[in-house]
Amino acid sequence: MQTIGLLGGMSWESSALYYQLINKEVNRRLGRLHSARCLLYSVDFEEIEQMQASGSWKKAGERLGEAATALERGGADFIVLCTNTMHKVIGTLESCVNIPVLHIAEATVREIRRQHLLRVGLLGTKYTMEEPFYTEGLRAGGLEVTLPGPEARTEINRIIFEELCHGTIRPASRSYLLRAMDQLRKAGAEGIILGCTELGMLVTSEDTDLSVIDTTRIHALEAVNEALSH
């Protein structure tokens, strides 16, 4: 089993989900008392969020690059960046290490193709929904991507940062998210990408008959595939 380097803390709530999902899947596959061989570097999210808000993406990339380097020195065989938004700076991070970094959007595209979907709706932070680094990767994978309207993007972003990142689950926010998903369905979406690692805390496939593409789960399972493939 290879050692997984988890670069998390963005937020720690979703990083805890990664740890749980990865260990449960390793045990499901290997049985007995098996668990994942992994290292976790958890950053201070306040520091990273301030860089996001001020547009200091280069500085944020360098900070995550330092963390990735520490994981590599610690013995990680590859890195999982436990966030969608910060894949905006994955190039900087990759330049700092000599081990692979598993890209969350690439894993997501593979899962969508496996489901034979073409038209998907994307939910996430405003950075993920509005900036090209994420949507271009999906479209390059042959997908048609639909976004919520501006008002919904603002509210979903607020729910993520003001509620989910603090572990707060509100039924009203779940209802809002489901209405946004239904609007995307009406616009032609066959499935919905939960393009923020916290959104799976609020909505699951049990809440809708749409295909729910949970990037946290997909990324975590991809990490297990990589760890056990050698």
Distance, in Å, from the CA atom of 30 to the CA atom of 148, rounded to the nearest integer, reads 41
Maximum Cα interatomic distance, the chain, rounded to a whole number of Å: 49
Grouping H, G, I as helix, E, B as strand and the rest as coil, residue 123 is: strand
3-state class of 102 per DSSP? strand
Cβ proximity of 48 and 93 under 8 Å: no
Q: Which residues of 102-114 are buried (b: 16+ CB within 10 A; e: fewer)?
A: bbbbebbbebbee
Selecting among 83, 108, 135, 197, the annotated active-site residue is 83
- % helix / strand / coil in the chain, to the nearest 5? 60, 15, 25
Does the active-site annotation cover 196?
Answer: yes
Whole-angstrom Cα distance, residue 197 to residue 15?
A: 8
Out of 38, 82, 165, 196, pick the active-site residue.
196
- With CA atoms as reference, report the closest residue to 176 among 151, 198, 195: 151
Measure the CA–CA gap between 122 and 178, rounded to whole angstroms: 13
φ, ψ dihedrals at 109, nearest 5°: -60, -40
Q: What residues act catalytically?
A: 83, 196
